[in-house]
């Protein structure tokens, strides 16, 4: 959780995290080590929290998590998932490269892109928006006096 940025992404490399746990285990002489599977299980639990997409390690994973929560009958769902496998072309909106990389028909790409555009690319920002403002005009006025 400490590795989550304002957008809701976890930016730490899993191997670096495991190395950090190994260092702590050596220092504190723990009997057991934290295993890769355990880290991934915790990551999946974080990714199952609201808002959907929080805890992803990159944008494609964030959007894939959100797509996985949609009804299986959602129109163009399969095509949207396919587009996420071609992230470099998706960002540049290169339709020709997207059709070549995914095998999708050009007429299916635009509706799939529209579905992706309905998703939240920064789910963590919802935490920022909903945080209470603890400053008051009185506090600001007091600080201005000094």
Q: Who contacts 84 (Cβ-Cβ below 8 Å, separation ≥6)?
A: 60, 63, 64, 67, 90, 116
Q: Are 52 and 26 in contact (CB under 8 A)?
A: no
Q: What is the pLDDT of residues 83-92, one digit of tens each?
A: 999 988 988 9
State residue 95's pLDDT score. Answer: 92
State residue 130's pLDDT score. Answer: 54
Question: Using CA atoms, how far apart are residues 28 and 40, in angstroms rounded to an integer?
Answer: 23
How many residues does the structure list for the chain?
Answer: 146
Give exposure, 7-43, as e/b (b: 16+ Cβ within 10 Å).
bbbbeeeeeebbeebeeeeeeeeeeeebeeeeeeeeb
Residue with tokens 């635009």: 110
Among 88, 91, 127, residue whose Cα is nearest residue 4: 127
Structure tokens at 45: 């639990």
State residue 142's pLDDT score. Answer: 46
Residues of the chain with pLDDT under 70: 1, 128-146
State residue 37's pLDDT score. Answer: 97
H/E element, 143: helix 137-145
Residue with tokens 């009804």: 71
Q: Are 104 and 98 in contact (CB under 8 A)?
A: yes
In whole angstroms, how far apart are CA 79 and each of 30, 105, 116, 134?
47, 9, 10, 45
């Amino acid at each position: 959780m400490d590795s989550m940025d304002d957008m809701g992404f976890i930016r730490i490399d899993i191997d670096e995290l495991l190395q950090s746990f190994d260092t702590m285990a050596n220092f504190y002489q723990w009997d057991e080590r934290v295993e890769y599977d355990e880290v991934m299980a915790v990551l999946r639990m974080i990714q199952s929290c609201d808002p959907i997409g929080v805890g992803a390690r990159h944008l494609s994973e964030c959007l894939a998590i959100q797509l996985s929560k949609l009804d299986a009958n959602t129109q163009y769902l399969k095509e949207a998932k396919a587009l996420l496998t071609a992230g470099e072309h998706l960002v540049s909106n290169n339709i020709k490269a997207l059709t070549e990389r995914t095998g999708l028909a050009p007429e299916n790409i635009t509706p799939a892109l529209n579905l992706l555009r309905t998703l939240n690319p920064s789910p963590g920002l919802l935490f920022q928006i909903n945080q209470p403002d603890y400053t008051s005009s009185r506090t600001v006025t007091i600080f201005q006096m000094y």
